[in-house]
Amino acid sequence: MEQTFTFLGKKWNGLIIDVLLEDGPQRFRDLAHKVSRCSDRVLVERLKELEQNGVIVRRTYPDKSLIEYDLTTKGREFRDVMTAIHAWSDKWSCPVEAAEK
């Protein structure tokens, strides 16, 4: 259980998984735009880690010189977790300005 919390708690992992759950397969640039505060270097690292852990798959389409990232079956299993996190966040999260006061 601790490994799962560490994995999901690692900065950007949850958001990357959430984007792929919500928007489906993404090219690197599209992911970088949606996870805009994450540097390209860190995004590359996280994508490699997620791939090594079997959560995402990197697909290459040579005829289109296109690379896409998508969730594996294991990655899609996070749907219920993310739905619960969204519900909790909607109920309990406060705007940044209020939190900083």
Q: H helices within 1-101, ranges in order?
A: 2-9, 13-23, 28-34, 40-52, 73-76, 79-92, 96-100
Domain count for the chain, please give it. 1
Assess if residue 15 is contained within a domain. Answer: yes
Assess if residue 20 is contained within a domain. Answer: yes
Check residue 100 and give its pLDDT.
Answer: 46
Assess if residue 65 is contained within a domain. Answer: yes
Contact 15, 35 (CB under 8 A): yes
Domain span at residue 55 reads 2-88
At 26, which CATH number? 1.10.10.10
The pTM of the full predicted model, rounded to 2 decimals, is 0.86
Q: List average pLDDT for each run of 10 residues in the chain, which is 101 residues long.
A: 88 97 97 96 98 97 89 98 93 64 46
